[in-house]
Chains A and B, each alone.
Chain A
């Protein structure tokens, strides 16, 4: 299990990995695993009106990691709503972020459903 970001030959790092670097169009050369890194909450919300198969309430954050001084951001569910901007978090693996048996528009086979929630470091 990895929280995989991609680095292009010009040094841009993005999560998720795209076929080409969104910043410069360059080829992605390196895979970087963020799952053992500590990040910082840029902003967060708690969504109360969620689509089928999604927990409610659903606290979510944008988190910024620093990889050798280069900032890279990710988004994902939080393990709690007791957080604030600037709080330190670490990724925590979850088998199923959303109930794929619920009726939803997206084809369940089209993508993965496991991933990382962000857990505050107390």
Chain B
């Protein structure tokens, strides 16, 4: 079977932006087409990853807006919503469109506009994914993180400081990312003394609210070289779900969607966790980096925190995690994040990551929606 290649990638600056959703999508989409020198009317399919443009901004139908704004018509256009995992789900849809032969050239653009809302309003939009029995108690995504972090520290004897070290590491990485929302180092003391948001988690354990967009261009590997020499291959990709109601999981410190989606991605790529050179994980909260690094098979259950303590996941470590700065420092415009994770892996694999560059031929991105409710894991490899 002809594999699927990524031949172009782009992302906007993440942070507080004046532009609204359609402009952000157009900015990333235009840059991606220019990156691959592809004409807009060559695009067969366009997918827009976005969680809540209607709820945040009152703008729906954004896939049609983008097709029109970029001159992609009559391309097939579809919006992909899988909450925070919309970007990864969009990559899966884009991959399917090319792998099935339905499209020869698919553009994926993820984006979200959030910062015009207050923190309370944005929290409510995101919390609207919860089940009625959760929503009526005021459950939020940060509160799920607090519940899980307390249990993780209790079950595995991890020190509270180990969570803070995820924030310190990812902020350090983000310092070298020109697209990141926060290009500022933070020290352990700052994290540990920041205000409590959901005990035992503090302000610096959480990603910010962000505007931004990112894009990728997919085609069959057999024709990739007609466009560029700088392409990578999607060697493995899979998506999975876990319970909608978080407390129904037998072990809240295990994300079943991560386990299942990565199993599928590894199998498709014929790879094992120890072959991964670099990974972008969904560190919406610091605790999530521990959970995913374990559920992806990088480390034993309950020992992901030790890897962070020992520097294994540092940029110069054995397995660099979140060289982009992660959601923590780069920012988390919901629908864009999964696409931006793959942008970072793409940059790493083609050797264009600048000061963030690490030696890498195989990279993995794990994009998580809800509190592990839906997950896509993607493995990219250098061509050849």
Contact = CB atoms under 8 A, between A and B. Distances in A.
The answer to whether A and B belong to the same complex is: yes
Interface of A: 14-16, 22, 42-55, 58, 60-62, 73-77, 85, 97-98, 104-106, 110-113, 115
A119 B132 CA distance: 21
Contacts of B357: none
Contacts of A61: 147
A22 B256 CA distance: 14
A48 B197 CA distance: 5
Interface string B141-169: 01100111111001000000000000000
Nearest to B145: A45
Contact of A51 (B123, B195, B201): B123
A106 B135 contact: yes
Contact of B120 (A43, A51, A74): A51
B137 A77 contact: yes
A27 B145 CA distance: 32
B154 A98 contact: no
Contacts, number: 122
A93 B243 CA distance: 26
B55 interface: yes
B367 to A, nearest CB: 23
A24 to B, nearest CB: 13
B247 interface: yes
Interface of B: 55, 119-121, 123-125, 127-128, 131-140, 142-143, 146-151, 154, 195-201, 243, 245-248, 252
Contacts of A49: 119-120, 123, 140, 142, 197-198
Given A49-B140, A55-B138, A115-B137, A85 B124 contact: no
Most B CB atoms within 10 A — which of A54, A73, A104, A106? A54
A50 B199 contact: no
A58 B245 contact: no
B330 to A, nearest CB: 21
A113 B136 contact: yes
A45 B245 contact: no
Given A45-B201, A46-B146, A85-B151, 18 more contacts: A14-B248, A16-B245, A42-B151, A45-B143, A45-B199, A46-B198, A48-B199, A49-B142, A51-B140, A54-B138, A58-B137, A58-B143, A61-B147, A62-B252, A73-B248, A75-B139, A97-B136, A111-B135
16 contacts: A15-B248, A16-B132, A16-B245, A22-B248, A49-B119, A49-B140, A49-B142, A51-B123, A58-B138, A62-B247, A74-B247, A76-B133, A85-B151, A104-B124, A105-B124, A115-B137
Given A48-B198, A62-B147, A98-B137, A75 B124 contact: no
